[in-house]
Amino acid sequence: MGGDDVGKPGGSFALVGLALTATTLEVATMLPYLAAVGLLTTSAVTWPASGAVLAGCCLVMILPALLLLFLRLVAARWADPLLTKLDVWLSRNSTNTLSWILGIMGVLLVVNTAGEVL
């Protein structure tokens, strides 16, 4: 359990990366839900109406995932070759794209901070 698996595929480093990514995505997708709950608690809407609004909000949040699941189940034979091609393309180009994204984010951070520092 020491540091033997660090750097190996599926090792500790990959697990920590997965956990941090999942946490970031969870927080980002949770904020609209918390905002809706906050708005509902401060409104003068009765509890049955606020429950219906909250259920509608939850439906809107899970609808894209349900739609993708439905399309995957219905069009699996048609989608598999396209998804395989997309996987190959993303695997080939992801390093370059990630470099560009990080570079652009760095420039934006420097530009936004430069005004405050100077």
Q: Where are the domains of the chain?
A: 1-74, 77-118
**Percentages of the chain per state (helix, strand, coil), in multiples of 5:** 85, 0, 15
Q: Are 20 and 14 in contact (CB under 8 A)?
A: no
Q: Are 54 and 36 in contact (CB under 8 A)?
A: yes
Return the pLDDT at 2.
Answer: 53
**pLDDT tens, position by position, 87-115:** 888 788 777 777 888 888 889 888 888 77
* Full-model pTM: 0.43
Give the CA distances from residue 52 to residues 21, 40, 58, in Å, rounded to whole numbers and listed in that order: 32, 11, 10
